[in-house]
Amino acid sequence: MQSYIQISKINDFIFCPRSIYFHAVYEQFHQKTYHQKPQLVGKIKHESIDKGEYSTASRYLQGSEVYCEKYGLVGKIDIYDRDEEALIERKTKVKTIYDGYRYQLYAQMFCLLEMGYSVSKLFIHSLTDNKRYPISLPIGEELRKFESTIEQIRLFDVSRFPVIDNEQKCNQCIYRPLCH
């Protein structure tokens, strides 16, 4: 029996594979115990989606739970525009389009496709500056990289993954106190 990968963990895994382990450790605690300002701001910005209050127009699916049997994925989408067949992942402030952002969006797309929706456009939306970044549909090498990442997550064993001190990443990580 295959266990499902939470879509939200894909970006975390790419940031640092060890963060998946520490996230699981902290899941039992109240988020205020370990969340820092960026996580709290992101949670507040997500509330309208989670409550289905982004828009009252029936063309939008918002905060809907999705799953994909093929890749063993489960999670929620931010916004799917039925009229435009567009899937939109919202982030607080986008400075760079990271692989984790794209792969999270791909995962949501594969879930929607398997659930019978058509997806022809993908976007990352930066809330702070209201910019929208088009993301290409995954084909060829990009699809293989996505699938490889999903497989790496599935096979990940924290006991075999050494602590890597990447100052730029580690200084931003909410799990640093446990990891180091």
DSSP string, the chain: -PPPEETHHHHHHHH-THHHHHHHHHTTS-GGGT--HHHHHHHHHHHHHHTT-S---TTEEES-EEEETTTTEEEE-SEEETTTTEEEEEES--SS--HHHHHHHHHHHHHHHHTT----EEEEEETTTTEEEEEPPP-HHHHHHHHHHHHHHHH--GGGS-----HHHHTT-TTHHHH-
What's the confidence (pLDDT) of residue 16?
81
Can you give the pLDDT at residue 39?
47
pLDDT at position 178 is: 67
Per-residue pLDDT of the chain (180 residues; tens, 9 = 90+): 468 999 989 988 888 887 777 776 666 665 555 445 554 545 545 555 555 566 677 899 998 999 999 999 999 999 999 999 999 999 989 999 999 999 999 999 999 999 999 999 999 999 899 999 999 999 999 999 999 999 999 998 877 766 676 777 677 777 776 665
Predicted structure pTM score: 0.81
- The CATH number that domain 5-179 falls under is 3.90.320.10
Give tens-digit pLDDT for 38-66: 545 455 455 555 555 666 778 999 989 99
